[in-house]
Structure 1
Amino acid sequence: MDGNGRWANRRGLPRLAGHHAGTENVRRITIACADAGVEVLTIYAFSTENWRRPADEVVGLMRLLLQRIDREAAELHRNNVKIRHVGALEGVQPRLAERVRAAVDLTRSNTGLVLNVAFNYGGRQEIARAVQRLMAQGVRPEDVTEELIDRHLDTAGLPDLDLVIRTGGEMRLSNFLLWQAAYAEYYSTPICWPDFGREELYQAFAEFGRRVRRFGGLS
């Protein structure tokens, strides 16, 4: 979901206008993914590093999320989308944290596409949380396995990533699902997130379909 600010700047608009437009696009892309048969979609809504942005932008973004989350959750619920939160809600404004939990509860029984909302999320922090959970359970170091760590991640029970799409021309990991993206394919487009539509999404899927995935092997 990169490029909201640049999208706004190119139009002479405040950066928050770009976040408004980006929020609108989440629902459209989620529905497009569901129509294409995607089973799990993760959007990187707000990273742990994003708190370092200018205070007025962060405050405006939190206000925007608080204003929109109930309406967007209701619309996704009507489309049988199941919302999951990945990340930490500690330190998040209590009212917003409450609405995030409410969106998860509202859609918990849905059977369609699973939408992971990575909010206040960092890949390193997620791995650290998983290790802390294991330590709290008294697991011995010699008993720790990849499978055990996987079961204690925020995404427990979900498959690893197949494809990571970066909008806005970005080419870096940005602390996103580091464990789960071990063998993911990457696709970068210069199109900013608010303009990233169904056509470009399906181009990314087509490119993914042409890749040969070896998972460390030769074929």
Structure 2
Amino acid sequence: MWTSEKLAKFVAISIRWPMLINDLYAEKNLLHDLQFIALDSSQIEIEADNLKLVFWSKQQELMDFLKVGFYNPDDNSIDYEKLKIYALSDLNYDKLIDISPINTLPIVHLGNNDGGISRYDEHIINSKLNTNTDMENALEHVHVNLRNFKLWFLDILDIDLYFKDGTEIQYEPSENYNFSTALEEHVSPEEDPHMYEALKKEVHDFKSMIASLLEEEGYGKIDLNSIDYEVVEFIEPND
């Protein structure tokens, strides 16, 4: 039975993890199963071919959130009366899914594969999540390809992701992100210390945004030092 507390948690999930709602649309028992895994993962056997369940069960922030309202981490106890009020299990999500926006999944390309595949491609999931190597440890280098649009701003064309096992993924964000053309400037601290510090902050903010974007897509915590960028396309200003 739905309660206002359960509805509030569902709305919060749809905002924080919108791609989960996409997956719930395709797999109606997903949140039910994730709730049980959050309660006691030792009692649930996750089949390796259930790629969506494997992926989301690895998102610790989500697992912790699913226990909010009835779980006490201090003594690892569960309030079973509150469990009935807050737990997102044994619920019918059909009507909520029908009115929830469905996001377009980002498309990636593996190696020389010409076809578009979703981030749930079996190769990605098996190599990054179903092994003892965490994604945050497996991702080695991030290269952002940028476009200079008429000297007005920079935007992202795509992002090349390089993993330690040799896998290369080209990720295309589903939204547009614009950045200052100051990212193209290079000034030494000797030339202009104030400008140097300002540009340093600009680069840091840019890398932080890229890291946040990839973390939200499930690629784990990103080391800012592993991110670099390059302007690979220039659109001339109109005369």
TM range (shorter): under 0.3
Greater helix proportion: 1
The structure whose residues are more often strand, as a share, is 2
TM-score with structure 1 length normalisation? 0.24
TM, length-normalised to structure 2: 0.23
